[in-house]
Chain A
């Protein structure tokens, strides 16, 4: 197939060619970036929280005085543990995807926040919480009974803690985090273990790097550690156990108020937390599909017009020996050339759009492999769209040449 005559013909249709190319270019730019956004969101909603989500629920009560905390804890623990199917009940201050309770800045030095490590989530847990969460220890040791200390402030003045691997890598890259110390103002922490994964309560709010900057701190119940309970049950039993537990609160502790919104399974909390991201993914996919559809329609419309306009010329070519395949290939090649032009421009646009999005949102740079994928999709789309009109062109009989249109 000779390209020169095609280019010569396209030069006579500069405007229409330019329009299709521009449409393809815009579609390419939006396609690459939209796919990238979908991938980003998809990674976000698949965050590994590190806990046994399917077996865990949280139950929150409030409306009691801090002087009543010990009494409420004792009654709630005893009452909830009596529910059939309940494997464990323990105290926690926050769970992944629930309300954030303990985010604070930590540093390598005491006092003012010099030599900062970052803002981390403190997950405070009473005895049994670590085991109930199902965290995976990768280094160091589990909290021992004497690691559980009373919190005079939001955390004990001197605590033995476990950090997530992500936080350990960030704070002490290339070193063993065991035995390392850090401070939150005047509160002192020493690392005794590292867990594989532990997500913070609101993983989306702190940037992709800090999703798992969490510190598990063993604390004795009472004071600020009261009113939020981690329930563990067989995944199949969990909804029933949680329902029973919610209903039982009124009998166990008549004075407290059950926080309806924050007494749910971790699975439900997670689904809720990422609902808007799921919608965004659906929306983006919808936009991609519709946009490709509109682009394809544009190509079909213009190609049909060209075929009709050139019926006579096609007839002449057929009459002087061109085969149907030649005609078919002519329109296919023509489309390929136009779409290629659009893609070249589209890649530049895609990159520009990505730079623009990067200034507006916390987005990383567009990985380069999106560009060839976008190109392949648009080439395929162009060929598919032009096939109908091209086949119609190939069906033009040579006799047309001898008639006036």
Chain B
């Protein structure tokens, strides 16, 4: 029966090509617009480190003193002292202390002019915690952290630039005024969003140079930037004792028990500091969030993208209303035919099914052209000067979703017209013939 309905549907669609084209176009445009924006939203709200995002935690507390009445959330970073205290307590399975800055880098033997690069200051656990992939060598050890060792890990990009992609482990680069030995070279690595860095740029690249936190404090002293300060520092170049937030932590906690005990530890610390008069706010502003919660809280999807998604949905709704109207016209125009079929014994259900098959075929065609439009839309997104542009590709899931959505939309649009068509009274139509 299905094959027969399909045949009928195709014949009917061929009979009025303009109307068919209009309906397919309306659905295709609606699907194309909404799938483009939904794909972008879907990609931007993805999990940057699947499999580990639920065991990585971002502790926050609020060192601001005096407290600001309009602040209900702590800053996404801490002052140096709190971060150091929490990190050196080693209360998590693995933990990384992090900050970032820019630094001048030269490779003396290459003769290239110096570069200003982003440097991530962190500790040994960073690499295993975030499953950072290595091309050559490896990360540094906890002893290197303790010894303030002059070692570095460099990005794949930088290795290409300075050493044309060769194994550069053991060679040295000059970071500001200090020679550091390269111990590892990363594979191309670009977690998106750049979750481990809570500062605003969601879709930036990773830093090019990774140095032990302890050694980088000495090497790049004076060049660290504060996220914000609540007192103007006496010396803007030395933030260690300033009332500024600029350092943050990540902790790996693989069981709920560990999470609650770590949370208790951070809370106790905040309470102690409050009691000692250093903090104005204690446990009220303590947060220990996992990756996805932290990212949701910070707002991953840019406002413009959400706005586009809203617009596209409204647009799809308009296209659907349009399709319902046109399908209604199309089906009722064939009332005479339907009357004959009913008179020859077809049930209402059969007419209904036939109409829905026709709507489904239109949906399939709309989905196909919608898919092409989505590809074109994503291509347009990639041409935009936005930092997430490189992400805009259609994955298998969204490819299938395009068709599912198109067919669902056209079936939905077909239900009311099909119901109307199945209620055609055969006698009236036969009389009119």
Q: Which residues of A contact B (CB under 8 A)?
A: 15-16, 19-20, 22-23, 26-27, 29-30, 34, 37, 62-63, 65-66, 104, 112-113, 153-154, 184-187, 224, 250, 255, 257, 259, 272, 275-276, 279-280, 283-284, 287, 290-291, 294-295, 297-298, 301-302, 304-305, 308-309, 353, 357, 360-361, 404-405
Shortest Cβ distance from residue A31 to the other chain B in the assembled complex, whole angstroms: 10
B322 touches A295 (CB 8 A): yes
The answer for the CA separation of A153 and B231 in the assembled complex, in Å, is 12
A276 CB contact (under 8 Å) in B233, B234, B311, B384:
B384
A23 touches B318 (CB 8 A): yes
Smallest CB gap from A356: residue in B: B310
Given known contacts A23-B321, A66-B222, A290-B315, is B384 in contact with A153 (CB within 8 Å)? no
Shortest Cβ distance from residue A370 to the other chain B in the assembled complex, whole angstroms: 16
- Chain B, 197-231, CB within 8 A of any chain A CB: 222, 230-231
- B310 contact set on A, CB distance < 8 A: 357, 360
Q: Which of B90-98, B109-117, B185-193 makes up part of the contact surface?
A: B109-117
The answer for the CA separation of A276 and B416 in the assembled complex, in Å, is 41
The answer for the CA separation of A250 and B237 in the assembled complex, in Å, is 27
Is B33 an interface residue, CB under 8 A from the partner? yes
Give the number of A-B contacts (CB < 8 Å). 127
B314 touches A30 (CB 8 A): yes
Q: Which of B135-143, B158-166, B324-332, B350-358 makes up part of the contact surface?
A: B324-332
- A185 contact set on B, CB distance < 8 A: 231-232
Given known contacts A63-B104, A284-B311, A287-B315, is B236 in contact with A298 (CB within 8 Å)? no
Smallest CB gap from A29: residue in B: B314
- B416 contact set on A, CB distance < 8 A: 15
A294 touches B333 (CB 8 A): no
Smallest CB gap from A103: residue in B: B228
A360 touches B306 (CB 8 A): yes
B321 CB contact (under 8 Å) in A19, A257, A284, A308:
A19
Given known contacts A62-B116, A294-B26, A297-B26, is B231 in contact with A302 (CB within 8 Å)? no
Is B66 an interface residue, CB under 8 A from the partner? yes
The answer for the CA separation of A15 and B310 in the assembled complex, in Å, is 27
B325 touches A19 (CB 8 A): yes
A257 touches B114 (CB 8 A): yes
Given known contacts A23-B325, A301-B22, A305-B333, is B236 in contact with A283 (CB within 8 Å)? no
Write out, one digit per residue, whether chain B residues 53-97 have a CB within 8 A of any chain A CB (1) or not (0): 000000000000010100000000000000000000000000000
Known: A187-B232, A301-B19. 19 other contacts (CB 8 A): A19-B328, A23-B318, A23-B321, A30-B318, A63-B114, A66-B222, A154-B236, A186-B232, A280-B304, A283-B308, A287-B315, A290-B33, A294-B26, A298-B26, A298-B321, A298-B325, A301-B322, A305-B328, A360-B307
- A295 contact set on B, CB distance < 8 A: 318, 322
- Chain B, 112-126, CB within 8 A of any chain A CB: 113-116
Is B102 an interface residue, CB under 8 A from the partner? yes
Is B361 an interface residue, CB under 8 A from the partner? no
B385 touches A27 (CB 8 A): no
B328 CB contact (under 8 Å) in A15, A63, A154, A360:
A15
B325 touches A153 (CB 8 A): no
Most chain B beta-carbon neighbours within 10 Å: one of A19, A224, A304: A19
Shortest Cβ distance from residue A175 to the other chain B in the assembled complex, whole angstroms: 25
- B19 contact set on A, CB distance < 8 A: 301
Instruction: Sort chain B's interface into a size bin.
Output: 35 or more
Is B1 an interface residue, CB under 8 A from the partner? no
Q: Which residues of B contact A (CB under 8 A)?
A: 19, 22, 26, 29-30, 33, 66, 68, 102, 104, 113-116, 222, 230-234, 236-237, 303-304, 306-308, 310-311, 314-315, 317-319, 321-322, 324-326, 328-329, 332-333, 384-386, 416, 420, 432
- A29 contact set on B, CB distance < 8 A: 314
The answer for the CA separation of A297 and B303 in the assembled complex, in Å, is 32
B328 touches A153 (CB 8 A): no
B385 touches A298 (CB 8 A): no
Given known contacts A16-B325, A279-B384, A308-B333, is B236 in contact with A153 (CB within 8 Å)? yes
A26 touches B317 (CB 8 A): yes
B329 CB contact (under 8 Å) in A65, A250, A301, A357:
A301
- A112 contact set on B, CB distance < 8 A: 66
- A62 contact set on B, CB distance < 8 A: 102, 104, 116
Most chain B beta-carbon neighbours within 10 Å: one of A34, A104, A257, A357: A257
- B303 contact set on A, CB distance < 8 A: 360-361
The answer for the CA separation of A38 and B264 in the assembled complex, in Å, is 50
Q: Which A-B residue pairs are the 8 nearest by beta carbons?
A: A305-B329, A298-B322, A63-B104, A23-B321, A185-B232, A19-B325, A301-B326, A30-B314
B432 touches A405 (CB 8 A): yes
- B319 contact set on A, CB distance < 8 A: 294
B325 touches A113 (CB 8 A): no
- A291 contact set on B, CB distance < 8 A: 315, 318
- B306 contact set on A, CB distance < 8 A: 360
A20 touches B315 (CB 8 A): no
The answer for the CA separation of A29 and B113 in the assembled complex, in Å, is 57
- B114 contact set on A, CB distance < 8 A: 63, 255, 257
The answer for the CA separation of A259 and B232 in the assembled complex, in Å, is 27
Shortest Cβ distance from residue B366 to the other chain A in the assembled complex, whole angstroms: 13
B311 CB contact (under 8 Å) in A255, A287, A404:
A287
List 11 contacting pairs A-B, 8 Å CB cutoff, sorted by A. A16-B329, A62-B104, A66-B222, A257-B113, A280-B304, A291-B318, A294-B318, A301-B22, A302-B328, A305-B333, A357-B310
Smallest CB gap from B307: residue in A: A361
Shortest Cβ distance from residue B325 to the other chain A in the assembled complex, whole angstroms: 4
The answer for the CA separation of A283 and B115 in the assembled complex, in Å, is 38
A272 touches B385 (CB 8 A): yes
B104 touches A301 (CB 8 A): no
B325 touches A301 (CB 8 A): yes
Most chain A beta-carbon neighbours within 10 Å: one of B115, B234, B308, B328: B328
The answer for the CA separation of A283 and B420 in the assembled complex, in Å, is 38
A257 touches B236 (CB 8 A): no
A37 touches B222 (CB 8 A): no
A30 touches B311 (CB 8 A): yes
